[in-house]
Amino acid sequence: MKSLHTSFALGDIALPNRIVMAPMTRSRVSGNGALGALNASYYAQRASAGLIISEAMVVAPEGRGYLFTPGLHTEEQIDGCKIVVNAVHDAGGIIIAQLWHVGRVAHSSVLPNGSAPLGPTSDPVEDLYVFGLDDAGRPGKVHVTPPRAMTDAEIERVVQQFSAAAANARRAGFDGVEILAANGYLFDQFLNGVVNRREGRYGGSSVTTRCALVLETVEAIRAAVGDSFVLGVRLSPFGNFNKIPDDPATSETFLYLASKLAGRTDYVHFNDEPVSIGHLNQSSVENAGEDAAVRGFKRMIPDEFLNDFRRFYPGTVIACGGLTGETAQSMLDNGAADLFAFGVPFIANPDLPARLRDDLPLADPRTEFFYGGGEEGYSDYPAYAPPVADAVESIDREAPQVLAAARSLIDSFSRHDVQAYFDGFSSDATFMFYYVDKPLLSRSEYRDEWSEWERKDGFRVLECRSENQHVQLLDGGHAIFMHDVETDVQYQGEQSTRLERETIVFKRDRAGWIAVHEHLSLHPKEAAA
């Protein structure tokens, strides 16, 4: 029997389970739009998801809609994405970049030179607020600026911007990309025949022209990244988020789109709720504290439409919106979807797959920290902590695993098996050695130092002996290993023996325990001598 916790093949990628972390804007990015170490920690903590879809990242400055959101169109932003991707991969996770252009849903304060937002037409949007700068330059809720109708050339430029951003995502190491064509943003505006009152190649009068922007973007991205790179599209038919009106042609539009996306994309991702909780948004923050917003809304997409869509689109379908473990399993059982995305539940439950699998209680998020700020309410939520009696059993089970990981490191070091030794550390592991005058801030930095010792000084480990081994388990999936180590080395043509005390910090990931920090000091006996 299929379950949420069975593996699934998405394109060429084997997902360990069917639970997806939905894209969520959290507004914790600096003014340059580059992700960083804080974001890397947040995503890596949630790497037990079968798949992570990143928060939306704008493809160009004119596609931005909110303060403190990331982009994927500069070298600095690509470098920031690499930090996040490496952290997720080191934790055993899989992550896809969501690509974004907000269209008319923006305020001029966040756009280049205070320009107007771009949209299918110049029709203003009433009573819609976004996160921008007020007249005094203070961050806060501001009413969207009336849009300017795009020219065909500007629409074609958007296609190329998405294509370039997808190529940037591949350079950064992402496992795929998702086009955000949902939630009332640019692509959704073109798909909606009521909003899209323009004429011509991208006009709203026919299903083919309404869908042209999405389909041209899919083709351009495929040409840029190839067939093996995962490509998905997020849609929200029947949704009204960001003032998207009801459209009598919704079924016609999206079933036509289904037939054209078949064979061109790896998946379609449905966001099925009137207020986008799967994709957290500044406009919904005032509702986010209500139980309905945290727990989900009634479904908007009719079952009949989903059944029809799957007839036209045989690829993978991701469902999102107000799901519980039970409702997701029911949808899997009846064939409505293949993968299931959870948004808000992942905020306070970084270990959500384990909690769903083991029927553990879910923590509630602190809604006042949904947007903006630092670690608080973002990367400080712990994994589930069992009651004391269960914790003792957990210690009895996990301490030997940490010890085995440590002994594997010691063994590879003793054999001077350099590759195996360094494979035991995460890429962002840090190192402090008493004989090196500065910390080494990555595995590659340590590897370079090691190579220099070998090249210049003929360094080689001959044998090491470990005793007084101790393991201490910490909260948040970390553990400390300490021991005394006596090492015979060859250095500058001479053999010598060093007596040292070593502390290694391990972090639990999907594959087991991996070292993330090593501290080496002289043994007190040596220091006293």
Q: What is the DSSP string of 253-309?
A: HHHHHHHHHTTT-SEEEEE-SSS-STT--GGGTTTTTSHHHHH-----S-HHHHHHH
The topology under which CATH files domain 18-330+337-369 is: TIM Barrel (3.20.20)
Q: Chain centroid to CA 477: how far?
A: 19
Confidence band of 387 (pLDDT split at 50, 70, 90): low
Sequence-distant (≥ 6) Cβ neighbours of residue 281 within 8 angstroms: 25, 183, 241, 242
**Residue 212, number of CB atoms within 10 A of its CB:** 18
- Look up residue 141 and give its two tokens: 């809720």
Q: Could you give the CA distance from residue 131 to residue 68 in angstroms, rounded to a whole number?
A: 9
Annotated active-site residue in 43, 66, 185, 202: 185
Tell me which amino acid residue 148 is.
R
Task: Give Cβ neighbours of residue 469 (< 8 Å, ≥ 6 apart).
Answer: 403, 406, 481, 482, 483
Q: Per-residue pLDDT for 323 more than 90?
A: yes
- pLDDT tens track for 55-110: 999 999 999 999 999 999 999 999 999 999 999 999 999 999 999 999 999 999 99
Question: What values do phi and psi take at 471, rounded to 5?
Answer: -125, 135
To the nearest 10 degrees (0 to 180), the angle between helices 75-90 and 152-172 is 40
**Is pLDDT above 70 for 425?**
yes
Looking at residue 284, its pLDDT comes to 38
**Would you say 168 and 83 are in contact if contact means Cβ atoms under 8 Å apart?**
no
Task: Tell me the average pLDDT of the chain.
Answer: 90
Residue 508 has pLDDT above 60, yes or no: yes
Structure tokens at 497: 């023996």
The domain segmentation of the chain, as residue ranges, is 18-330+337-369, 388-528
The Cα-based distances of 279 to 23, 111, 177, 194 in angstroms read 5, 21, 15, 23
Q: What is the token pair recorded at 47?
A: 């790497």
Digit-coded pLDDT (tens) for 334-376: 999 999 999 999 999 999 999 999 899 999 999 999 999 999 9
CATH of domain 388-528: 3.10.450.50
> Residue 185 catalytic?
yes
Q: What does the alpha-carbon distance between residue 110 and residue 108 come to, in Å, rounded to a whole number?
A: 5
3-state secondary structure 157-192: HHHHHHHHHHHHHHHHCCCEEEEECCCCCHHHHHHC
Structural tokens at position 230: 């995962």
Is residue 417 within 8 A of residue 504, CB to CB? The reply is no
pLDDT the model gives residue 392: 44
The whole-number average pLDDT for the span 28-46 is 94
The pLDDT value recorded for residue 396 is 59
Asked if residue 454 has pLDDT above 80, the reply is yes
pLDDT over 90 at 279, yes or no: no
What values do phi and psi take at 136, rounded to 5?
-90, 5
Rounded CA separation 494/303 (Å): 76
**Residue 397 structure tokens:** 């089970």
Instruction: Name residue, tokens 């078949």.
Output: 262
Examine the pLDDT at 288 and tell me if it is beyond 50. Answer: no
Identify whether the C-beta of residue 413 lies closer than 8 Å to the C-beta of residue 446: no
What is the pTM assigned to this prediction?
A: 0.73
pLDDT of 298 reads 63
pLDDT tens for 243-274 read: 999 999 999 999 999 999 999 999 999 999 64
